[in-house]
Amino acid sequence: MGTKAREIAGPNVKETVELLNRALADEWLAYYQYWVGAQIAHGPLRPDVQKELNEHAADEFKHANMLAKRIIELGGEPLNDPKDWVKNSTCGYDAPTNPSTIKLLQQNIKGEQWAIGVYNDMLKKIMISRDPVTYHIIRKILEDEIGHEQDLEDLLVDIKASR
Ligand code: FE
Ligand code: FE
Ligand code: MG
């Protein structure tokens, strides 16, 4: 990172990189949980649920890219071993062992709710460390996770209404 850029990244760059890496672990696990869920889904509104899960998987992949780019800009290293994903994750991984669309939606809603909590906490910490660029990235991801929760809850409402 350039000298001036480093100066405005706040005094807690090391802590910011750690937070970003924990979020990166969450994003990879979220990506995979959505991706594999979309493969196996069956039951009510299957095509709609598959489409939504695949879209969200693509968004989580984008988030992983945004986080990794920022980690590198801050002079850190993105986690380089999948074994570290579960270890560093806050949201954890909820294996989709039941392929029912209802169950998948419920599991992924829980994951999004964790993610919203994690990113909201992170924003508060980054506000204190005064790093405007990281703040902007995390705020954008938080907005996406809020949209994800909404989309999944809407699908669940539609499934329940159709029964
Ligand atoms: Fe995400
Ligand atoms: Fe999400
Ligand atoms: Mg969506």
| CATH number for the domain that contains residue 40 | 1.20.1260.10
Neighbouring residues of 95: CB distance < 8 A, sequence distance ≥ 6: 33
> Separation of 99 CA from ligand 1 center, angstroms?
22
Q: How many domains does the chain have?
A: 1
| Band (19; pLDDT cuts 50, 70, 90) | very high
Separation of CA 113 and ligand 1 centre (Å) = 11
Domain residues for 50? 3-161
Give 67 Cα–ligand 2 centroid separation in angstroms: 14
pLDDT in tens, 104-130: 999 999 999 999 999 999 999 998 888
Rounded to the nearest 10 degrees, the angle between the axes of helix 101-129 and helix 46-73 is 20
pTM greater than 0.75 (yes/no): yes
Report residue 23: phi and psi, to 5°. Answer: -65, -35
